[in-house]
Amino acid sequence: MIYVTCINLFVHCQTIVHSSLVEKTRLGGYEKFQEYIEKATVDLPEPKTARILDLGCGNARLSEDMYDNGFKEITGLDISDVAIDSMRVRNAEKRPDIEWVVGDAFNLPFEDESFDLVIDKSTTDAVSCDKDHIHENMTKMYGEVQRVLKKGGTFLVFSAVEHVPRTGLRLPHLSFEIEEKELYLPFASLWAFVSVKTQRPALSNEEALRQAQMADLQMIQERKRQQEAEERLKSTASFGVLD
């Protein structure tokens, strides 16, 4: 509950400062993403009818830009009802075919193998902020993406925290073939991870989740040990404690 309220607040603030100008200058606008989206769908019999999921769409322009680029089977999903309501209102007349869904990326409300393309633009960055549950969150979210993707479908991750998707997409319950590329932007870097779903995964989701929760626990304990060591060090008058 607190999590969703914070996200809603964040999206509200984003709405105030949001404009296509902000997105264009920071992330480079749709043209940066278009080639990846078109390449991921080009081999389908009818590329423009690809079923696309914009995962954690927020109130960004991506779904709208894809629609204007000819893609019509788009679903935008976000956990924030504020974001989804604002997208519904913003697009009711001009882009009536986009489906807007309030939902949780950790438990997607879609059938298995229902999308040709799933796009995560900075959603990984948001969910990986929760340091105590980073392994668990990535295991759940990427596991859900793998489930709803058709075989041969593509998961496109655009992220500024490249080490998270680099590790997360290779978790043992996933079966992606991954290519990555750095996009150079004026004041930041963004990485594109093109991940194609291949053969069946080796490990069950349950076992992967159990391992992820253990990894989170180990990290929490390690941080606690470091904190205690720092406090012990601070409380001593000299560095003699290390002798």
Ligand X SMILES: C[S@@+](CC[C@H](N)C(=O)[O-])C[C@H]1O[C@@H](n2cnc3c(N)ncnc32)[C@H](O)[C@@H]1O
Which residues contribute to the site for ligand X (CB under 6 A)? 7, 11, 56-58, 60, 78-80, 83, 104-106, 121-123, 125-127
- Residue 216 tokens, joined: 């989170």
Tell me how far, at minimum, the Cβ of 88 lies from ligand X, in Å: 15
Q: How far apart are CA 213 and CA 192, in angstroms?
A: 27
Is the CB of 105 or the CB of 169 nearer to ligand X?
105
Place of tokens 């991954």: 178
Is the CB of 85 or the CB of 104 nearer to ligand X?
104
Tell me how far, at minimum, the Cβ of 124 lies from ligand X, in Å: 9
Is the CB of 44 or the CB of 103 nearer to ligand X?
103
Mapped onto helix, strand or coil, the DSSP state of residue 97 is coil
Tell me how far, at minimum, the Cβ of 131 lies from ligand X, in Å: 15
Strand duo 149-159 + 189-197: pairing: antiparallel
Contact 80, 7 (CB under 8 A): yes
- Residue 137 tokens, joined: 């969150």
Helix locations, 42-197, DSSP H: 62-68, 81-91, 123-127, 134-148, 163-168
Is the CB of 73 or the CB of 125 nearer to ligand X?
125
Tell me how far, at minimum, the Cβ of 224 lies from ligand X, in Å: 26
Is the CB of 24 or the CB of 44 nearer to ligand X?
24
Q: How far apart are CA 221 and CA 188, in angstroms?
A: 33
Tell me how far, at minimum, the Cβ of 141 lies from ligand X, in Å: 7
